[in-house]
């Protein structure tokens, strides 16, 4: 059952701004997954826990708009910064909305459920000024977690100094790790054609 207090403080952020080079440059979040756009699975996982929902995307923005309250794009100066650029755009939007921070996940982990993201949301509410990251079998998942909106300035500095590693930024902020008793393959990304089954990403 979603916590209404958590819903009013968190902003959901789906990262869909990647270029999907291993999939031939398709717009991965909009590719078909079991009869729906892949991004829909992330919407299902985040929407119950968040007061607002953002999608970070850099192409086909009108196609993403029906799935979120707002679509945000990378700042031009950080167009080579990977997912951290999308995270920065999300943090800035969360601040503008007066929300405590972003509950974030990529668009391409369809097995990550609302229940899993709900556990991260509960942990975020317990300490909203601290990063919370998912950990499964000692493996960290820095793009599945919670980031306080107030870290936007620190993240901008990190990017301006050439930082590009998500874990490098997160570890510098002394995050909390939430151990999840689930199978590691739940967090598998759909990065290559073989991950999508016989037909690949159409």
* Binding-site annotation: residue ranges for GTP: 15-17, 28, 74, 108
Name the burial class of residue 154, with classes exposed (0-12), middle (13-18) and buried (19+) by CB atoms within 10 angstroms of its CB. Answer: middle
List beta partners, residue 176: 132
Instruction: Could you list the residues known to form a binding site, using ranges.
Output: 15-17, 28, 74, 108
Token pair, residue 73, equals 């794009």
CA distance 10 to 2: 12
Tokens of 164: 């590009």
- What whole-number distance in Å separates Cα of residue 103 and Cα of residue 87? 10
Residue 158 CA to residue 143 CA, distance in Å, equals 17
State the binding site for Mg(2+). Answer: 108
- Distance between CA 8 and CA 172 in Å, rounded? 28
């Amino acid at each position: 059952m979603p916590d209404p207090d958590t819903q009013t403080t968190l902003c959901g952020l789906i990262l869909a701004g990647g270029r999907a080079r291993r999939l031939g440059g398709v717009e991965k979040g909009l590719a078909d997954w079991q009869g729906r756009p892949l991004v829909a699975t992330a919407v299902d996982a985040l929407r119950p826990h968040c007061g607002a929902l953002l999608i970070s995307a850099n192409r086909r923005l009108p196609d993403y708009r029906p799935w979120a309250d707002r679509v945000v794009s990378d700042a031009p100066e950080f167009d080579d910064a990977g997912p951290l650029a999308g995270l920065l755009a999300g943090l800035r939007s969360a601040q503008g909305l007066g929300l405590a921070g972003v509950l974030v996940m990529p668009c391409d982990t369809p097995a990550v459920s609302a229940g899993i993201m709900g556990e991260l949301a509960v942990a975020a509410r317990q300490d909203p000024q601290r990063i919370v990251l998912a950990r499964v079998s000692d493996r960290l998942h820095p793009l599945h977690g919670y980031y306080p909106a107030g870290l936007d300035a620190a993240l901008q500095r990190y990017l301006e100094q050439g930082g590009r590693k998500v874990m490098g930024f997160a570890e510098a902020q002394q995050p909390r790790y939430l151990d999840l008793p689930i199978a590691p393959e739940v967090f598998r990304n759909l990065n290559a054609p073989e991950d999508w089954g016989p037909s690949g990403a159409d």
